[in-house]
Chains A and B, each alone.
Chain A
Amino acid sequence: MPAVQETIEQVRKIDVDQYKYGFETKIDTVKAPKGLSEDIVRFISEKKGEPAWMLEWRLEAYRRWVNMTEPTWAKVDYPKIDFNDLYYYAAPKSTEGPKSLDEVDPELLATYEKLGIPLREREVLAGVQGARVAVDAVFDSVSVVTTFKDELKKAGVIFCSMSEAVREHPELIKKYLGSVVPQGDNFYAALNAAVFSDGSFVYVPEGVRCPMELSTYFRINEKQTGQFERTLIIAEKGSYVSYLEGCTAPMRDEHQLHAAVVELIALDDAEIKYSTVQNWYPGDKNGKGGIYNFVTKRGDCRGDRSKISWTQVETGSAITWKYPSCILRGNESRGEFYSIAVSNGWQQVDSGTKMIHLGKNSSSRIISKGIAAGHSQNTYRGLVSAHRKATGARNFTNCDSLLIGDKCGAHTVPYIEAKNNTAHFEHEATTSKISDDTLFYCRQRGLSQEEAVALVVNGFVRDVLQQLPMEFMAETQKLIGISLEGSVG
């Protein structure tokens, strides 16, 4: 299999804990004063030129957040975060005011090029793979540019930054923002609702199949800043959209906070496919630095026969706390969750999903693969529940963990709640290390120990990788190789 050979080469040429996206872009920025207060919320809202109702919405979230306590139930351990020692807004100076791609600071464009995300449409078109992906590039607190907007507009699809959506499409924002993840949903969601700075907005009208993949690329650049983006995707009746999300950050000694909220709404017969390749800076080999990734992602299958599918490849972040979920409200709606979480070094991952069956004959599938190496802790935490009225609900869950080395931990915490007898739930999970027999077999065929591990791991995660859009597949197979480097021998 050529992909495996590629992985093996990737593993070979990259040194231990090399994080290739760790560079920093030197650029002038405008920051909000340090700390968090109602004034900061007003500051952010003003910077964005938001209407009064939006500010009021933020303030309400802030007032709720002040009275909330940090959740401690996740299996992660970190020093208490001082929420007043952070910058909640940082934007490159050059992004102020209206812009076309030509006006964007060349430094920024170079950054994205370095990350392998071409923002100029003609370059994208000239790309080797020939696949076209519309990109919304978010740099710290602002969206730098959104590509292919005009072409998408022709199809009726709205793809823009959240700030723009608040200005241009207030009726949609008022109707849908916070309708899946309300302001007071949880501590980090409330924080996000108060200070969210940018993110992507997607609206696919009735019956439209989005002509290209949409994607957002998140980059944290500034020191001591948190990134709080908010994404809202609405798929009207019978529409389809596939959305990819990528994230990276510079290498720093300090921990940085990323608290995002993603809301998906699928109406009758609509389908949303949401893929994430999360590669935030994971910290160095001693566990110093790295991103705290505390994210609330939730999809609402509001319409009958709607479908939401989450695919995630988690290799970065010092701490991950995220549970992309589906509320299966519509009859015969379907939720899917495919996840690979690779943890190395001192990373801590507590991730999983929630499948809440409310509609009749709704179905869901969960495939989760956790790979723990080094000193990392990797937890799958998931909920599958069927409401009394969700007759005929079906779920299949398979969560496997692989341990590499004897200093790491892999944990599974599933919650399964069946409230009616026509619900059919199956859950299985296994934890094991790569068996000596398998490794021996590979080595006997001439593979080195590391090549053999890469081969087995790639086989182990194949179910999930197959769900990723083609553009990401090659990339993620490389990621798997990188993250496992140094874990053998």
Chain B
Amino acid sequence: MNVAVLKTKAEQALSEAFSGAAAELPGSSEIRKLRLDAMGRFGALGLPHRRVEEWKYTDLRNLVKEVLPAPAASKGVSVADIEAALGALAGLEAHRVVFVDGRYEPDLSALVANEDVSAASLATLLDNDTSAVELLDVSGRDDDAVLALNTAYAADGSVVDIAPLATLDKPVLLVFVRASETPAFVAVRNVLRVGEGAIATVIEAHVTLPKAARDFQLNAATKVIVGKGAKLGHVKVALEAGGGVHLSNWLTELGPDADYAGFHFTASTGLARNQVAVTFAGEDARIDLSGAFLAREGQHIDTTLVVDHAVPKCVSRELFKGVLEDHARGVFQGKVIVRPDAQKTDGKQMAQVLMLSPDCEFDSKPELEIYADDVVCGHGSTSADIDDDLVFYCRSRGIPEAEARALLIESFIGEALEKVEHEGLRDALGELAHNWLRRIEPARSVA
């Protein structure tokens, strides 16, 4: 049944706004064409809705009613503002690269480019480098409307290159600060390229300044290419305050023998969708995807993973833990695909959620799609309230109920946080979780 799809107001606005914005966006004519094609794809697909299987539980057509304009230039953001917004993450010693409302701010950044690492602005590369078209290219993922929108609109982002065999002394911290006092739509595209045998940690932190408008729309995508034998720890910390929409997309490709540990810490407000797609391109590679999501009030946090075992002998592990309060909604969709020749695959997936209020909701879809026989794959999903016996045990040891519950939740989340290898970062995330549970600001980075 082919009926002409009626465009929603938001879809129309996105298409219309593009013709105006296109001239302002960086890039040569070739890149402009790529953007135009992407916009065409978006036009055909529209905003994903519940009839699209991957978006069954996060109906963007319904949740995004209108489109926000591009941000006005924010002036007077200081390093101190950013430190305050980063909260527990501020103390982290790192190569800091700062973006304010999606625009690179060299003055606020602290990265000494050296032979091991460089972080260039995507906007600059797109304008000056003819080969930069590949940074925006996401061919093979043509059915993702949100990603198409990102390709069309991405104005800036960080292109991080880690040299072969380099071992970074400290993590690269990409800070995305929301400062615009008027509601704004921002699209960011990052690219992480880790050379053969290199070892690095890259953190993406999304924070908000106190003066920023409540409403926002972020569409961020990160392309990750991990070279042969390289090891990358990749962490995203979403702490935005307000009531906006945070759409994130990681596209990771692993070379042979590579090791990738991805982690999502999400305690932002509003709607968040964390999408990760991992493709194994070489044998003997390993991924460890994990995360913690904390939601209360009317928040909606969606984690959607696709792990594609396209080659033999790779290992994948996923562990996601969530805490839901009030009428928050958590979504977990994990799909593990084992292609016909991907023998000796070892995949395990687990999603666990604590539901602390009668009104919260958790929807889970841990999916296995297996075409090879010599594999071991498993998945699990659990959801329940805190075990009363455990609370009773703590109380019998003299711990007040509220504290007992907080302790139990913390240890529950702690299991996921353990996956973060960088010690300083792990501690910082622990502190953020601790503060969130006890409703201590600035858990959400409001100074």
Contacts and interface: CB of A to CB of B under 8 A. Distances in A.
A412 B368 CA distance: 5
B373 A427 contact: no
B350 to A, nearest CB: 9
B330 to A, nearest CB: 9
| Band of interface residues on B | 35 or more
Interface in B329-383: 340, 343, 353, 355-383
A415 B364 CA distance: 6
Nearest to B324: A421
B402 interface: no
Contacts of B364: 414-418, 427
Contacts of B356: 421
B369 A433 contact: no
B375 A409 contact: no
A86 B441 CA distance: 69
A418 B383 contact: yes
Contacts of A425: 381-384
B404 to A, nearest CB: 17
24 contacts: A388-B358, A406-B343, A406-B373, A408-B373, A412-B368, A414-B381, A416-B364, A416-B365, A417-B362, A417-B364, A418-B353, A418-B355, A418-B361, A420-B358, A420-B361, A421-B384, A422-B358, A423-B383, A423-B384, A426-B381, A427-B364, A427-B380, A427-B381, A430-B376
B377 A411 contact: no
A432 B369 contact: no
A53 interface: no
Q: List the 4 closest pairs (A to B, CB-CB), nearest first.
A: A421-B355, A403-B373, A416-B364, A430-B378
A98 B180 CA distance: 84
A78 interface: no
A401 B347 CA distance: 14
B374 A413 contact: no
Contacts of A388: 358-359
B1 interface: yes
Interface in B62-111: none
A428 B382 CA distance: 9
A191 B440 CA distance: 59
Contact of B370 (A73, A391, A411): A411
A410 interface: yes
Given A413-B365, A416-B363, A428 B380 contact: yes
B12 to A, nearest CB: 27
A404 interface: yes
Contacts of B324: 421
Interface string A118-138: 000000000000000000000
A403 B343 CA distance: 12
B340 A406 contact: yes
A406 B383 contact: no
A427 B353 CA distance: 12
B115 interface: no
A388 B361 CA distance: 9
Interface of B: 1, 53, 324, 340, 343, 353, 355-385
A432 B372 contact: no
B375 to A, nearest CB: 7
A426 to B, nearest CB: 5
Nearest to A421: B355
A430 B349 CA distance: 10
Contacts of B375: 403, 431-433
Contacts of B385: 421-422, 424
B366 A429 contact: yes
B382 A406 contact: no
Given A420-B360, A429-B380, 17 more contacts: A73-B53, A403-B372, A411-B369, A411-B370, A412-B366, A412-B379, A414-B365, A415-B364, A416-B362, A416-B365, A416-B381, A420-B355, A420-B359, A421-B384, A422-B358, A423-B355, A430-B376
Contacts of A401: 368, 370
A405 interface: yes
A342 to B, nearest CB: 15
Given A420-B358, A421-B355, A427-B381, A409 B367 contact: no
Interface residues of A, number: 36
Contacts of B380: 426-429
A84 interface: no
A419 interface: yes
Interface string A69-88: 10001000000000000000
A417 B373 contact: no
A344 B307 CA distance: 27
B373 A405 contact: yes
Contact of A426 (B357, B368, B378, B382): B382
Interface of A: 69, 73, 388, 391, 401, 403-433
B367 A431 contact: no
Nearest to A391: B358
Nearest to A431: B377
B257 to A, nearest CB: 24
Given A417-B361, A418-B362, A420-B359, A431 B370 contact: yes
Given A406-B340, A433-B373, A69 B382 contact: no
Given A73-B53, A423-B384, A432-B376, A412 B367 contact: yes
B143 to A, nearest CB: 15
A430 B361 CA distance: 26
Nearest to A424: B384
B321 to A, nearest CB: 15
A409 B362 contact: no
Nearest to A406: B373
Contacts of B366: 412, 414, 416, 427, 429
B300 to A, nearest CB: 14
A431 B343 CA distance: 13
B431 to A, nearest CB: 26
Contacts of A415: 363-365
Contacts of B376: 430-432
A409 B358 contact: no
B382 A409 contact: no
Contacts of B353: 418
B441 to A, nearest CB: 25
Contact of A406 (B368, B374, B377): B374
A419 B379 contact: no
B255 to A, nearest CB: 25
A425 B353 CA distance: 10
Contacts of A421: 324, 355-358, 360, 384-385
A408 B371 CA distance: 6
B290 to A, nearest CB: 18
Contacts of B362: 416-418
B312 to A, nearest CB: 11
Given A73-B53, A406-B372, A406-B374, A427 B382 contact: yes
Among B373, B375, B383, B384, chain A packs the most CB atoms within 10 A around the CB of B373
A428 B373 contact: no
Contacts of B372: 403, 406
Given A418-B361, A422-B358, A410 B381 contact: no
A193 B429 CA distance: 57
Nearest to B382: A426
B198 to A, nearest CB: 34
A326 B361 CA distance: 21
Contacts of B355: 418, 420-421, 423
A239 to B, nearest CB: 34
B338 to A, nearest CB: 8
Nearest to B369: A411
Contacts of A406: 340, 343, 372-374
Given A421-B385, A427-B380, A430-B378, A403 B370 contact: yes
Given A420-B358, A421-B357, A432 B371 contact: no
Contacts of A427: 364, 366, 379-382
Given A421-B356, A422-B358, A411 B368 contact: yes
A417 B382 contact: no
Contacts of A73: 53
A424 B368 CA distance: 22
